[in-house]
Structure 1
Amino acid sequence: PDRLASLGIDLVHASPDVGENLQDHLQIRTVYKVSSALTLNTLANSLSGKARIALQYAFARSGPMSMAPSQFGMFSKSDPSMATPDLEYHVQPLSTDRLGDPLHPFPAITMSVCNLRPDSVGSVHA
């Protein structure tokens, strides 16, 4: 609260953890081109595919618009002696160079792994 007050920001709700525990979530993403499989890349890169996606959702609340981006997720330990997992794996039926970029024009999937407990932990303060 004192930090916000010093910046002239009115306190709405005291939450001392805001701005704390900033963590670097290193994620390694690998794109694999696939054949004989329907991926979101294939659907989203054609007008008929986009129409199919929209109709599936409009009439059945199913299809890509009803799902999370990752279709598979798994947690594991990098060291068996750990009490809880520290790695998270994802598989997505799509690919792109960077999040937010257009999907690739070829059918592909993305597999990734993320460190859940990085060594680099800090804070964000004005």
Structure 2
Amino acid sequence: MKTLPLTCEKCFADFQEALEELKYVISNAKVKGFNAKSEAQIVRAFELTHELTLKTITEFFRNQGHGGFTGSRDLTVEAFHEDLIDDGQGWLDMIILRIKYNPIYPENTQNELVNRIIKQFVNLFENFERNMVKRLS
């Protein structure tokens, strides 16, 4: 069976769905209380949302004729220069914290990641969403 090539619009729609899921998981945890399971769900939803963000940006640049990015940092820097994201340092912090996070390592890294997801990273995703809606219109 043939698979259809990814489009920026399809990647963006997948990102939006993942962002809604992330916000739902966070609000559910706030209502029911935070525990190891809810924090793990938040981290998984966040990682999916971030990956789909990067896919969306990659496809956006591919459509623009840009390419050759060697990793998420290069892609993030270019997205900042193209005004797809508005807080370059916040996005780079997101990447660094994801690299540092490993579920088998100390709990304080997971706590820091969950706190940053709730307090900062969801806002960064929402700003990206607003910027992409403008760019794709």
Q: Which TM bucket (shorter chain)?
A: under 0.3
So what's the TM-score if we normalise by structure 2? 0.24
Taking structure 1 as the reference length, what is the TM-score of the superposition?
0.26
> Of Structure 1 and Structure 2, which has the larger fraction of its residues in helix?
2
Higher RCO structure, 1 or 2 (CA under 8 Å, sep 6+): 1
**Bigger proportion of residues as strand:** 1
Structure number with larger C-alpha Rg: 1
